[in-house]
Amino acid sequence: MGSSIDNQQWVSERFILMPLSFYKKPGLVVYVTCGDPDLATTRAVVLAAIEAGADVMELGVPFSDPVADGPVIQRASERALKNGTSLAQVLTLAAEVRQQAQSTGLVVFSYLNPILRMGMEKFCMVARHAGVDGVLVTDLPVEEAGEYLRAMKANDLAPIFLAAPTSPDVRLKRIAEASRGFVYAVSRTGVTGARQQVESDAQKLVLRLRRITKLPVAVGFGVSNTDQFAQVGRFADAVVVGSAIVQTIEQNPGREAKAVGKFVRELSAVSSQPSVPVS
């Protein structure tokens, strides 16, 4: 009986303090490829980004065939894999970060294969105990996610799905119903990577999602500077910055954490409006 009550209390406290909420507008989601250039540097980069104002950190699991990613993240994955970076090490990193950052959201961003190799139930259990809040599996369609969703629910983890401009409304509704925390709206079709301008499809997609769900909508794929961050922040609840962060790491050997901290601080300065989190 005591064990059950303790667990209920843990779940209650977890959702009262739900780190996947955005308390300013726009919220800032920062992606890193773990293990690039090494795990110690990744840890320093993540903590620097959190200190500089990141609301949610996406911990990218390097993968040998990252078909959804552009050349910047592909190179980062190659470097991380050469270092032997594994999913288990990413989860250990998450636990280390959680010890130092209690209120920042932690999301594991992975392809499906590394999770299947670990085992779905084991992965979810370890992720929960590491202090992870949510998981985004980039190549898992919501239509095939039954086992994944059951394991996520059993471990109080938030499944986050990608919504694309090409998705019909019926599929967007299914994605929104399966998602927790927030919905990740892809600003365009194609692979990740910084762009000179943000496509208008992103705003249309956010408007479509708002008619379907009350969950916050985070827009990613292509945001690379403060102007674009502000532009997307006018219509989205949060903005995901990935390739620009990974590129900053790549271009600043020996001073990765300092450079990322400076960049994130510039982005965070744009987020001036308080935002009421959506439960």
Domain segments of the chain as ranges: 24-160+222-270
Q: What is the pLDDT of residues 225-263, one digit of tens each?
A: 999 999 999 999 999 999 999 999 999 999 999 999 999
pLDDT at position 191: 44
Which of these is catalytic: 58, 133, 237, 256? 58
Angstrom distance (rounded) from CA 66 to CA 73: 8
pLDDT at position 10: 36
Which of these is catalytic: 36, 55, 69, 256? 69
Could you give the strand order of the β-sheet that contains 134-137, starting from the edge strand earlier in sequence?
158-160, 134-137, 105-110, 56-60, 27-33, 238-241, 217-220, 183-186, 162-163
Question: What is the reported pTM?
Answer: 0.87
Lowest-confidence segment of 50-54, 129-133, 167-171, 189-193 by average pLDDT: 189-193
**What is the distance of C-alpha 36 from the center of its chain?**
17
Lowest-confidence segment of 96-100, 122-126, 199-203 by average pLDDT: 199-203
pLDDT average, residue stretch 42-66: 95
pLDDT average, residue stretch 158-179: 96
CA 166 to each of CA 109, 143, 200, 201, 204: distance values in angstroms, whole numbers, following the listed order: 22, 16, 13, 9, 11
CA-angle at 215, arms to 269 and 140, nearest 5°: 100
The answer on pLDDT for 192 being more than 90 is: no
Query: Catalytic residue at 58?
Result: yes
Higher pLDDT, 116 or 20: 116
Lowest-confidence segment of 53-57, 190-194, 224-228 by average pLDDT: 190-194
Mean pLDDT over each residue of the chain, to the nearest integer: 88
Query: Catalytic residue at 169?
Result: no
Strands 162-163 and 134-137, sheet pairing: unpaired
Q: Which superfamily is assigned to 24-160+222-270 in CATH?
A: Aldolase class I (3.20.20.70)
Task: Identify the band that residue 69 occupies on the pLDDT scale cut at 50, 70 and 90.
Answer: confident
Angstrom distance (rounded) from CA 42 to CA 226: 23
pLDDT average, residue stretch 117-140: 97
